[in-house]
Amino acid sequence: MRMLFRIAMAVVTILILVSCSSTDSQIIYTPGSSDAGTGGSGQSLEQQEQARQQAAEERRLAEAREAERLARQAQEAERQAQMRAERERVAAEEAARAEAQRQRELAARRAAEQARVVAAQQARIDELRERIAANESETENLESANAVLRQAVAAAELLTEALMSEEEKYNNTDPDSGEPLEPLATARIEALAQELESLGNQAESLMGQP
């Protein structure tokens, strides 16, 4: 808009110069007029010159008013353009700030969501690890219980054999006292019975553990 103002001022200056040039070189002829030594009914040269000067002055005044009007118009147009540019600048800055705030909020929401997903995934991993550890512990307990049960079965078989052997001893007794001729293995049978009971308790305890 400053360029428009300079152009308008240049146009006005040229108009004034052209007006002055054309006015100074203009010669007004009136029909019926005569030279300085001749009388007549027309205007005198002095009157013609005064009229010419008056007309030229009126033109200059009109052109000056037009130039002033154009200058004011150019100034107002420039002021309006500056105001419009300022409003656009402020609006652009506000829009940029709003967009930056929106992007920050969006990034914060994405980060929070990502953190939530990671936390949930980590909790799932921890749960699976705990289950694996529990299964391994349960497997170890089960294997230990099976080993104890195998020992208990072996002890039970030994106890059964011992009882069967004791039963055969009662088939060969003293006729007078009725006691077996071969000594009974009472201590061994009691030891086997205690061992079998202990093994059974251990197996039950291991199988009952989580």
Give a three-class secondary structure readout of the chain. CHHHHHHHHHHHHHHHHHHHHHHHCCCCCCCCCCCCCCCCCCCCHHHHHHHHHHHHHHHHHHHHHHHHHHHHHHHHHHHHHHHHHHHHHHHHHHHHHHHHHHHHHHHHHHHHHHHHHHHHHHHHHHHHHHHHHHHHHHHHHHHHHHHHHHHHHHHHHHHHHHHHHHHHHCCCECCCCCCECCCCCHHHHHHHHHHHHHHHHHHHHHHHCC
Residue 178 region, left (φ>0) first, then alpha (ψ -120 to 50), else beta?
left
- Rounded to 5°, the CA angle 137-140-142 comes to 110
pLDDT of 27: 42
Q: Evaluate whether 115 touches 42 at the Cβ level (below 8 Å).
A: no
Q: How many residues does the chain have?
A: 210
Q: Please tell me the distance from the alpha carbon of residue 148 to that of residue 195, in angstroms, as a whole number.
A: 11
Q: Please tell me the distance from the alpha carbon of residue 41 to that of residue 11, in angstroms, as a whole number.
A: 42
pLDDT of 93: 94
Q: Please tell me the distance from the alpha carbon of residue 149 to that of residue 152, in angstroms, as a whole number.
A: 5
170 contact partners, CB below 8 Å, separation of at least 6: 180
pLDDT tens-digit profile, the chain (210 residues): 555 555 555 555 665 554 554 444 444 444 444 444 444 445 588 888 898 999 989 999 999 899 899 989 989 999 999 999 999 999 999 999 999 899 889 888 888 888 888 888 788 778 877 877 777 777 777 787 778 778 878 878 887 887 787 777 767 777 766 677 677 677 877 888 888 788 878 777 777 665
Q: Specify the amino acid at residue 41.
A: S
Q: At what angle do helices 45-169 and 186-208 cross, to 10 degrees?
A: 170
pLDDT of 16: 58
pLDDT of 44: 85
Q: CA-based Rg of the chain, rounded to a whole angstrom?
A: 65
149 contact partners, CB below 8 Å, separation of at least 6: 199, 203
Instruction: Report the predicted TM-score, pTM, of the whole model to 2 decimal places.
Output: 0.39
pLDDT of 39: 44
